[in-house]
Structure 1
């Protein structure tokens, strides 16, 4: 074993033993992608899979940081340990997190069982880099019970959070037509829980009603637009949380034991409806919170736990893990093959020489690509033989 590998193994052992300094060093190596960081991630991989991971996303100003702070405090009050990764915009000069030094966990200052790390998005789509996913593994292996990822508020690109989180929470500000339009543009598809934060502001009930309607239409595009079923009055005393039909939006009960998201009464004997009753289906919830005061946090936590239970019972938790592994393998292969190709291009004189040849009509882009790829293709074909 080389000296560097021995040092890395010692670092992993200290992390697994619960040493916070080792955890911080491992995440630093992961974020900076220093030599040997992949060996670190490989060693901790077998120790992951215990923590529940929640992604918090939404437009800037929705109160994500305050909500994360209150969520962490709630979990700590329950005796659970918490890891928080806040993905900030990348600095165009250093590549580091622009907002990394801001104080965002005011309720948990000095609490060693809340590990907070601000990380750079590094220009990745949705603000989540491979480093962020690996940092989640480090927190998981360390033994954190709950891991929260707060992402950059960058609109539709936030879909990348799905690849890392078990449950996705989307924050929306009251009375913001732009936010609701943003959801229609694509964010609606990724949300497992929608939070109307700052619910004491004017327009909160209307925003709740709009979200309820959009969720209903997403699950059943043929649904009749009946605002009597989906208005603010149907929100329920529980703030959209519940397993039965007493709360939630319209005829749809917002628990994970619901059938297909709309009333199936009147369809006795319908084989499709009967089949759907047998399997759990999750209908997204809408929760009201006032993060600054902590109001609604208990309901939100309850709903997050319900969604995790649903994932476990339905088998989707395993399926999500499989999808994440598949995407991670593809991402690593794309990244590594890209580096190999860049090196091959430089070995042949650089991309500018190829571009000049294309402009001079001596070749074309397709021929260049074939020429550069040929050694790699031959190598793989030889291995098959």
Structure 2
């Protein structure tokens, strides 16, 4: 199937048939179509929407150089030893100058890259904020529909702005290292709020114990205690969850079992408390909002008539006789027909397998 042109319904139906048959090549093609929003991506997402929600989604975030890729690799091996299939979405930053990205995760994860039960997809942020590529959630849905048991989302590590990972994952692991700098600066409110599990990686280096203590102290203060909250105090038998603070030396495979155990306990807590359903319903709500925003941007800013009309208002905006808000209101009112045109066309029942 030529990916540069719109696929015919029959070609798209064949792709979906191969996808349902578990063909890795079909998964790769489907991910490419969805990631790049090529013609047919809506049909691919719609065809397996009912299957979404079976996989565990685990976000892995933290500053650059914290060892996120190593931990992702070790977690992948641990889940593979359980016989689980793992999908990895690794997001790398895009160059603001060239628009390119290294996408070197297959190099860093070479020990699991050839495993038939592992599928790695490297993605570029393409300027999106929050540490996640725009199509990350959609690619995770494709993995989920394909039958992956665990989906690991490794983000770019750009600091406090990559909080979107928490909205895309069921559980979020925040990886820190002693060299992260001022620990209080590291533990800003956003990072503290998205973390379901903390780990201090490279724990054999000076300052690791101090960083762990500072995290536990901050967790204690957030919970209204004047003392640190130890990792052993995580609450999986109550209506609250206290993130455990673990130590790892991922390069030597030390502490990985503790992370797996903590993530398992968090999954149990989410299920028992009803929080998992709430998080996934919120994800669906946000997904609808994202689709609407994408469609509005696509229709308005790729419509030649609209752009010409905006250009015609520039003189008034420049001399002060018009204000942007009034121009926007007028544009919205006169664009009603453009914005309400249907765009999604499902496959016909005779071809949808």
TM-score (norm 1): 0.81
SS in 1 for 2:240: coil
Between 1:124-133 and 1:147-156, the stretch displaced more is: 124-133
TM alignment of 1:340-359, pairs within 5 A: 340-343=299-302, 346-347=305-306, 349-359=308-318
1:281 maps to 240
SS in 2 for 1:159: coil
Size of the aligned set, in residue pairs, is 335
Q: Which runs of 4+ in 1 moved over 6 A?
A: 378-381
CA, structure 1 residues 87+362, in 2 after alignment: closer, same or farther (shift >3 Å)? Answer: same
SS in 1 for 2:242: coil
SS in 1 for 2:108: coil
CA, structure 1 residues 380+125, in 2 after alignment: closer, same or farther (shift >3 Å)? Answer: closer
CA shift for structure 1 position 120: 1.0
1:211 maps to 215
Which among 316, 326, 351 is matched to residue 285 of structure 2?
326
Which among 7, 11, 27 is matched to residue 15 of structure 2?
11
Contact preservation (8 Å) 1:345, 1:351 = no
Task: Determine the C-alpha separation between the residues in 2 that align with 1:380 and 1:74.
Answer: 48
Instruction: Note the residue ranges of structure 2 that are not aligned, 5 or more in a row.
Output: 1-5, 341-353
CA, structure 1 residues 23+356, in 2 after alignment: closer, same or farther (shift >3 Å)? Answer: same
Contact preservation (8 Å) 1:100, 1:119 = no
Contact preservation (8 Å) 1:88, 1:97 = yes
Task: Determine the C-alpha separation between the residues in 1 that align with 2:118 and 2:291.
Answer: 30
Between 1:121-130 and 1:199-208, the stretch displaced more is: 121-130
Instruction: Note the residue ranges of structure 1 that are not aligned, 5 or more in a row.
Output: 241-247, 259-279
Task: Determine the C-alpha separation between the residues in 2 that align with 1:147 and 1:60.
Answer: 21
- Work out which of the two has the higher radius of gyration on C-alpha atoms and give 1 or 2: 1
Contact preservation (8 Å) 2:174, 2:198 = yes
TM alignment of 1:128-277, pairs within 5 A: 128-174=132-178, 176-220=180-224, 223-224=225-226, 226=227, 230=228, 235=230, 240=231, 248=232, 253-258=233-238
Deviations 1:71-126 (A, max 9, x none): 10111112111111100012346645333465021321421111111111121111
Which among 62, 76, 79 is matched to residue 75 of structure 1?
79
1:38 maps to 42
Task: Determine the C-alpha separation between the residues in 2 that align with 1:119 and 1:378.
Answer: 35
2:347 maps to none
Instruction: Indicate whether 1:24 and 2:28 are aligned.
Output: yes
CA shift for structure 1 position 330: 0.7
Structure with bigger RCO (C-alpha 8 Å, 6+ apart): 2
Task: Determine the C-alpha separation between the residues in 2 that align with 1:49 and 1:178.
Answer: 38
Contact preservation (8 Å) 1:341, 1:372 = no
Deviations 1:273-296 (A, max 9, x none): xxxxxxx21111111111001111
Between 1:355-364 and 1:95-104, the stretch displaced more is: 95-104
CA, structure 1 residues 363+3, in 2 after alignment: closer, same or farther (shift >3 Å)? Answer: closer
TM-score (norm 2): 0.88
Deviations 1:196-255 (A, max 9, x none): 0011111111111101011111122xx33x4xxx2xxx84xxxx2xxxxxxx3xxxx213
CA shift for structure 1 position 179: 4.9
Task: Determine the C-alpha separation between the residues in 1 that align with 2:70 and 2:32.
Answer: 25
SS in 1 for 2:42: helix
CA shift for structure 1 position 380: 9.0
